[in-house]
Every structure is written in structure tokens, then in C-alpha cells.
Amino acid sequence: MNRQAATDLPFPRAALHAAKGSTWSEWQWRERKASLNDWDPAAKPFSNGMKNGDKTTVDQLAQEIDVLQNLFFADGRYKMLLVLQGTDTAGKDGAVRGVFARTSPLGVHTVGWKAPTAVERAHDFLWRIHHRVPGAGEIMVFNRSHYEDVLVPVVNGQITPEQTRQRYEQINAFERMLAQSGTVILKCLLHISKEEQRQRLQDRIDDPAKHWKFSLDDIAVRKQWDAYRQAYDNALQATHTDWAPWTVVPADSKTHRNLMIGTLVRDSLKALDLRFPAQDPAHAGLRVE
């Protein structure tokens, strides 16, 4: 795979990397740590050690992101795509609610990707994705994503290994094109343990307020846990690039999950050196009567 440094991109990727620092580098995918089994889903690398303290920090982050998002929208030079990928119950919905609890719906949008429709299947697998990428000044959150197309069909044997490799290459080219067009791409793999998933699925069965989230298909997919874990390992290995890196987010703790994703979004926005547009000279000295 092409690992060329993204020096030709129109935004300071090096600054983003620098802002994340060594703690972030420990949680970004890399070849010498090329299996999710190498990361602890119960880890809390960004925690202050107190649950209520972490919740307070998440709320503070949400407020900071709201201020930065307003500046991001006004600046208008960039777009941001946040990909939240993970198994059932990994907490994608909860992360959206927690991280963007304070932001305006005018500047932050979310797409929850489902199985492709007949019309979507009649096109290439990225056709429907391109329709929903962010515009100038927008933050778009993908709840699941185009990565489903190198997970589900792989595990179920619906595409060949050669077709899978082609899709990896097409994803990398697609994301590079977005990056070259000013899109900051943040990809988060929400990493939970098999036992934590068991408990969350059981909660959906037992809690009347969560029944609607449960499907027998969840149990069928759970039986394919090892196959999906291998598919995730392969996909992350093939699509972790300078322009669209993967961050592994330990997600057994819901609060820490939100803390880590919120910190990533906040730090990435700060690294962009955002600024408000200059005042139109025609407005100088204008008085409203």
C-alpha cells in the first residue's frame, strides 16, 4: 500500500499529528501492533481516575467543540469527516450524543449507514458515500461507514480476496481525494471486549427501554466474532494512511470512549489554526439605526 507522506495536502496534517502527541501515537494503528488483540478495550489512557471527573471533562470538551465548530464553520477552508466504526453495541450512538451534546445541528451532521438499498447496490460501493461527505465548514459524523463494505461481505464470503484488496485501494484513493480537497479525516475504531458486548446485548433484552435496539441478527453476528475481528485487523492494516489514520478507542467504558473521541476532535480542530474571515471593508463604521 502507498504510505507516501501527505505533504501535498492543503491542511497541516503534521500539525494534527503533533497536537495528538505521544499518547495518541500509542493508540493509532501501526504495523508493529497490527491486531486489535494488542490493545486493551478496558484501558483508560485519557482518564483522570475519577468517573465523575471524566464525565465533567466530557461536558467541558463538548462546550469547547461547540465554540471551535462555530469558528470552523465561519473559517470555511476545511471540512471534517469523523468515522465511528465498531461492532454492535460498541457505542457509536452514545459517542455522537456525548461528544456533540452542545453543538449546533446547523454545523454538525450525522449519517447512520444501513445495508445498501437496491438502488445503491446498482452503483459502486462508494457512490452512496460520496453523496454525504461534508461540505465547506461542516463536520460530518459517520455512524458506521464505507468500511462495512470490507467487513460484512468479507465475513459472509460475498466478495473474493482480490475484490477485497481492490476495495481497500479504492477506499484509500477516495479518502486521499477528500483530504486533498480540504477534508480532515478522523477514523475511530470503537474497541470493546466480547464480554462487554455480551452484557450490553443482554441489557437490550432485559431493559424495556432498549428492546427496540435488539435483533436476533445481533446474536448471529456475535457468533462470527473471530471472523469479524480478523476482518477488522485486515481492513485497518490496509487503510491506515497519513491522510486518514485509524485511532483505536478503548470503549468498554462509555465515559472514557466519549472522553477520548472528544479530545481527538477538539485537538484536531485546534491544530487547524482557524480564524474568522476579515471584515468586509464596506461594513467598517456602519451604524444600524
In three-state secondary structure terms, 90 is coil
Asked if 188 and 249 count as a contact pair (C-beta separation under 8 A), the reply is: yes
Q: Kindly list the structural domains of the chain, giving each domain's residue range(s) and its CATH number in brackets, ordered by start.
A: 13-192+226-272 (3.40.50.300)
Cβ neighbours of residue 19 closer than 8 Å, sequence gap 6 or more = 267, 268, 270, 271
pLDDT on residue 105: 83
Give, for all 289 residues of the chain, the pLDDT tens digit.
343 444 455 554 555 555 555 667 788 887 556 789 999 999 999 998 776 789 999 999 999 999 999 999 999 999 999 999 999 999 999 999 999 999 988 889 999 999 999 999 999 999 999 999 999 999 999 999 999 999 999 999 999 999 999 999 999 999 999 999 999 999 999 999 999 999 999 999 998 888 888 888 889 999 999 999 999 999 999 999 989 999 999 999 999 999 999 999 999 999 888 999 888 888 888 888 8
Asked if 259 and 47 count as a contact pair (C-beta separation under 8 A), the reply is: yes
Asked if 43 and 146 count as a contact pair (C-beta separation under 8 A), the reply is: no
| Cα–Cα distance, 33 to 150 (Å, whole number) | 21
pLDDT on residue 11: 54
pLDDT on residue 52: 79
pLDDT on residue 2: 40
Using the structure block, give the residue that is written with the C-alpha cell 471534517: 80
pLDDT on residue 31: 58
pLDDT on residue 93: 95
The separation between CA 180 and the C-alpha centre of its own chain, rounded to angstroms, equals: 19
List strands edge to edge, sheet with 183-191. Answer: 108-112, 139-143, 79-86, 183-191, 246-250
